[in-house]
Amino acid sequence: MAASEAPAFPPVLPDRHPDAPKGADLDKCVHCGLCLNACPTYRELGLEMDSPRGRIYQMVQVATGLAGITPSYAGHLDLCLACRGCESACPSGVPYGRLIEAARAEIEARAARPWHVEMLRRFVFGRLLVSRGWLKAAGALLYLYQASGLQSLARGSGLLKLAGRLGRIERLAPEAEVPFFFSQIGRVFPAKGEKRKRVAFLSGCLANVTSARLNEATIRVLQENGCEVAVPEGQTCCGALHVHSGLKEMARELARRNIRAFLREEFDAVVTNAAGCGSALKEYHELLENDPEFRKKAQLFVSKVRDITEFLDEIGIRPPENPLPAVVTYQDSCHLAHGQKIRQAPRNLIAAIPGVEFRELPQADLCCGSAGVYNIVHDELAAQILEKKMALVNGVGAGVVATANVGCVIQLKAGVAQHGKGQRVLHVVELLDEAYRRRGSWPPASPPPSLS
């Protein structure tokens, strides 16, 4: 649909849900269609209603009263990965990420779900992700399943194939990394050499269980670069998954808890190693714009938030001394490239490692299919997207696939297991950490040292 053919709609209805898409944001879309090829669901399905332009068209119809919130409308919006690739492609500056989150919040407020689905959502979002106790319990169960040999038995016996969707999802299960990172929360780690910065580190929620070694590597790399690192007590889940799922009130309470925890002391930066978390943290001022107590606090907090790759690139890293002989490619995290507009910093860090041969990945900023819980909720479509991504990865011929988000790491590891050629999948910071610690052969035969 050409811009000149864009339909005329009546004004947005005044009595809408307070979190519904705003008319000013909807009006920015001129329906030019330049976003279509940047949309993973449109590339896979070829349906206008499953493109950014088509979804915005539907939002406008609901906003103006020309259509209601129907199961069809909810389904098309739920199928969106919220990767925000369309934002990078859009010449009009349409804030699509804000629109899809607002539309889902309105749907959440008005739509009714089956009781068992509602109960599951309440447990996952209201209990599991925000409770250390529940996360530890879930992590312990996952560890027992993996360490006892049950996982190997289930995968080797073919039982998972008989389990249908549950079996497909099990293939995505990350490793439970013991000891979990929870024991490090509340600690302060000294800088190595002259102290350049004092930073606070957000450890995440599930990452404390499934990315504990990444969190430790992040602290070691910050220490190597002259940073004193505090892991503040009182921090919690960033709320990204809640916002993406339309649960904005829950996300607001999590934002308040994190702001209290991180503004209790003075830090040069609040650092995260998860691009999805970083995008949510950097948008706390929008989330709390109508909160008189936290509006200014949120603005101050946002001004300090940095992705780990962004922060290290800003302060300039101490290059590793020993060469690391590896061929590396890089998969952009959607919320880093499209949400935070950070593309060069991770590549700069990789380039700073001596001995590395970097090979650019074709369509590196096209989503890998992880997208929070998308690869669980829409596993078949996510698997199609991942398979195409792995074909590009295999074509590059790199032995290491680096990325900058914990969800992407998990998804790409599953992709290597199913379609890859034995590549290692590492967060950029893990690659840096291995380079700093390198003394003998590479890849390292022994696990990294625990934090002291």
* Euclidean distance between CA atoms 68 and 154, whole angstroms: 45
Please state which of the ranges 4-8, 294-298, 406-410 shows the lowest mean pLDDT.
Answer: 4-8
pLDDT (mean) for 279-291: 95
Q: In the chain, list all ranges with CATH 1.10.1060.10.
A: 7-110
Beta pairing partners, 307: 272
* Euclidean distance between CA atoms 53 and 4, whole angstroms: 15
The SS3 assignment for 197 reads: strand
pLDDT computed for residue 48 by the predictor: 95
pLDDT (mean) for 329-355: 96
* Euclidean distance between CA atoms 392 and 383, whole angstroms: 14
Alpha helices in 330-427 (DSSP H): 334, 344-351, 374-377, 379-396, 406-419
* Euclidean distance between CA atoms 254 and 131, whole angstroms: 11
pLDDT (mean) for 113-142: 90
pLDDT computed for residue 94 by the predictor: 94
Give domain 7-110's CATH architecture. Answer: Orthogonal Bundle (1.10)
Q: In the chain, list all ranges with CATH 1.20.1050.
A: 184-314
pLDDT computed for residue 1 by the predictor: 45
DSSP 339: I
Burial class (CB in 10 A: 0-12, 13-18, 19+), 157: exposed
The model's confidence at residue 435, banded by pLDDT at 50, 70 and 90, is: very high
CA distances from 21 to 18, 38, 42 (A): 9, 22, 22
Q: What are phi and psi of 117, to 5 degrees?
A: -70, -40
pLDDT (mean) for 168-176: 81
* Euclidean distance between CA atoms 74 and 445, whole angstroms: 49
* Euclidean distance between CA atoms 48 and 57, whole angstroms: 10
Q: What is the dihedral of CA 429, 435, 441, 447, to 10 degrees?
A: -40
Is the domain covering 184-314 a CATH 1.20.1050 domain? yes
371 or 207: which leads in pLDDT: 207
Its pTM stands at: 0.91
pLDDT computed for residue 9 by the predictor: 53
Q: What are phi and psi of 326, to 5 degrees?
A: -145, 145
Pairing state between β 227-230 and 305-307: unpaired
Burial class (CB in 10 A: 0-12, 13-18, 19+), 158: exposed
Q: What are phi and psi of 229, to 5 degrees?
A: -120, 120
Q: Which residues contact 276 (CB under 8 A, 6 or more apart)?
A: 240, 333, 335, 372, 405, 406, 407
pLDDT (mean) for 327-345: 95
Percent of the chain with pLDDT strictly greater than 70 = 95
The model's confidence at residue 3, banded by pLDDT at 50, 70 and 90, is: very low
Q: Are 338 and 87 in contact (CB under 8 A)?
A: yes
Percent of the chain with pLDDT strictly greater than 90 = 74
Q: Are 420 and 382 in contact (CB under 8 A)?
A: no
The winner for highest mean pLDDT among 4-13, 124-133, 155-164, 342-351 is 342-351
* Euclidean distance between CA atoms 184 and 271, whole angstroms: 15
pLDDT computed for residue 114 by the predictor: 85
pLDDT (mean) for 241-259: 94
The SS3 assignment for 357 reads: strand
* Euclidean distance between CA atoms 245 and 373, whole angstroms: 9
Please state which of the ranges 113-127, 204-218, 275-289, 320-334 shows the lowest mean pLDDT.
Answer: 113-127
* Euclidean distance between CA atoms 51 and 163, whole angstroms: 32
pLDDT computed for residue 248 by the predictor: 94
Max Cα separation, the chain? 69
Percentages of the chain per state (helix, strand, coil), in multiples of 5: 55, 10, 40
pLDDT in tens, 74-97: 999 999 999 999 999 999 999 999
pLDDT (mean) for 379-394: 92
Q: In the chain, list all ranges with CATH 3.40.50.
A: 319-437
Beta pairing partners, 227: 197
Q: What is the mean pLDDT of the chain?
A: 90
Q: State the fold for domain 319-437.
A: Rossmann fold (3.40.50)
